[in-house]
Structure 1
Amino acid sequence: FQVAALAFLTGIAVAFPEHYQEVPIPYNFNYGVSDKHHGTDFSHNEDSDGKVVKGSYTVQLPDGRTQTVKYVADHLTGFQAEVNYQGDAQYPQKYGPPVTFKPKSYH
């Protein structure tokens, strides 16, 4: 039993070297969506040098304000965000039925 256990543990040690380390890969991306008909408006961009990630995203809120979040993240300091708002919140005096759109039929 002891020989089998020792062989099993040795196999695990060989399969997973203790000094294995993933190599960080730099990347960047961005996208944006702006659909005035439905009121959708947001964007996001992010860059990484393989160690530090920096980015921001912006979204049009239902109350009329624009929210922008700028952030930095790394293994030493973690995720740090700065949130800003543009505009003043607008609330309707009267509430009505939700706006819906009927699907179009195509023949």
Structure 2
Amino acid sequence: MAFKLIVLAAIVAVANAVAVGVGYPAAYPALGVAKVAAPVIAKAVDDYDPNPQYSYSYHIADALTGDNKEQQESRTGDVVTGSYALVEPDGTRRVVEYTADPVNGFNAVVHREPLAVKAVAPVAKIAAPLGYPGYARPILG
């Protein structure tokens, strides 16, 4: 049964090739085969913008995770300007201001800014008196 399907597919393929004139030059009109012109494929129009422009920004301040960052960027033509900032683990805020253009390439300037210092209450020191290993009394100061 499979052999019959393969033979049938081969016959259909040959018949289809003859119908469109594949492999026959135009010098064989006696075979009754007409040449069919290849379909014309339209060229896709490129969406080229000679002066691309965009602008975006975002800010995240998550008190639960401590994630605090922001970014803004804009582009006019081939010139991109922007900045981003984040709070580093040591408590400083890093700000990076950047520009990019075809003449100067990518340039960035980095600033570090201290954040406002939070007042922290002193921690009481605990010391155990001699002779009483299970007893601790607070020592303030």
Q: TM-score range by the shorter chain?
A: 0.5 to 0.7
The question of 1:87 aligning with 2:114 is answered yes
CA RMSD of aligned residues (A): 1.8
CA apart distance, 1:29: 0.5
Q: How many residue pairs align between the two structures?
A: 69
Identity, in percent, stands at: 32
**Structure number with larger C-alpha Rg:** 2
Question: Counterpart of 1:101?
Answer: none
1:17-60 deviations in Å (ceiling 9; x for gaps): xxxx7634111000111101110000000011122100000001
Equivalent position amino acid for 2:70 in 1: S
The question of 1:37 aligning with 2:64 is answered yes
Q: What is the 5 A alignment of 1:62-101?
A: 62-87=89-114
Q: Do the aligned residues in 2 keep the contact of 1:27 with 1:50 (CA within 8 Å)?
A: no
Equivalent position amino acid for 1:81 in 2: A
Equivalent residue of 1:41, what SS? strand
Equivalent position amino acid for 1:84 in 2: H
In the alignment, the residues of structure 1 paired with residue 108 and residue 68 of structure 2 have an alpha-carbon distance, to the nearest angstrom, of: 21
The gaps in structure 2 that reach 5 residues or longer are 1-42, 116-141
The gaps in structure 1 that reach 5 residues or longer are 1-14, 16-20, 89-107
Aligned with 1:55 (options 66, 72, 82): 82
In the alignment, the residues of structure 1 paired with residue 90 and residue 76 of structure 2 have an alpha-carbon distance, to the nearest angstrom, of: 36
The question of 1:26 aligning with 2:61 is answered no
